[in-house]
Amino acid sequence: MQLDPDSIYEQLEARHILQPLSAALQQAGIASAISDARCMLGIVLGRDDAVLPHEMIARWQPEQSRALEALRQRRQTGEPISRMRGWREFWSMQFRLSPATLDPRPDSETVIAAALGWARDQAPAARILDLGTGSGCLLLTCLAELPQASGVGIDISAEALEMAAMNASQHGLAARTMFYQQDFATDLTAHGQFDLILSNPPYIPSADIEMLDADVRHFDPLAALDGGADGLACWRVLCPQIATALSDGGMGFVEIGAGQGKSVGMLGRASGLRLLGSFADLSGHERCLQFQKEL
What Cα–Cα distance (Å) separates residue 168 from each residue in 68, 89, 111, 143, 244?
A: 31, 14, 19, 10, 26
Specify which residues 289 forms β-bridges with: 254, 278
Question: Which pLDDT score is estimated for 281?
Answer: 94
Q: Which residue type sits at 229?
A: A
Tell me the pLDDT tens digit for each residue of 151-188: 999 999 999 999 999 999 999 999 999 999 999 889 99
DSSP symbols for 208-276: GGGGS-HHHHTTS-GGGTB--TTS-HHHHHHHHHHHHHEEEEEEEEEE--TT-HHHHHHHHHHTTEEEE
pLDDT reading at 197 higher than 80 = yes
Mean pLDDT of the chain: 95
Tell me the pLDDT tens digit for each residue of 53-67: 999 999 999 999 999
Tell me the pLDDT tens digit for each residue of 65-88: 999 999 999 999 999 999 999 999
Closest CA to 65 of 4, 2, 1: 4
Question: Which pLDDT score is estimated for 295?
Answer: 78
Tell me the pLDDT tens digit for each residue of 108-138: 999 999 999 999 999 999 999 999 999 999 9
Segment 198-206 mean pLDDT: 95
The C-alpha angle with vertex 229 and arms to 227 and 231, in degrees rounded to 5, equals 35
Contact indicator for 176, 149 with CB cutoff of 8 Å: yes
Domains located in the chain, CATH noted: 9-76 (1.10.8), 87-293 (3.40.50.150)
pLDDT reading at 1 higher than 70 = no
pLDDT reading at 28 higher than 90 = yes
Tell me the pLDDT tens digit for each residue of 243-270: 999 999 999 999 999 999 999 999 999 9
Number of H helices, E strands in the chain: 10, 11
Residue 249's contacts (CB-CB under 8 Å, 6 or more residues apart) are 195, 292
pLDDT reading at 2 higher than 80 = no
Specify which residues 43 forms β-bridges with: none
d(CA 201, CA 52): 37
Q: Which residue type sits at 137?
A: C
d(CA 260, CA 243): 19
Q: What are residue 134's phi and psi, to 5 degrees?
A: 60, -120
What Cα–Cα distance (Å) separates residue 272 from each residue in 190, 237, 241, 250, 294?
A: 20, 13, 10, 13, 5
pLDDT bracket for residue 97 (50, 70, 90): very high
Question: Which pLDDT score is estimated for 215?
Answer: 87
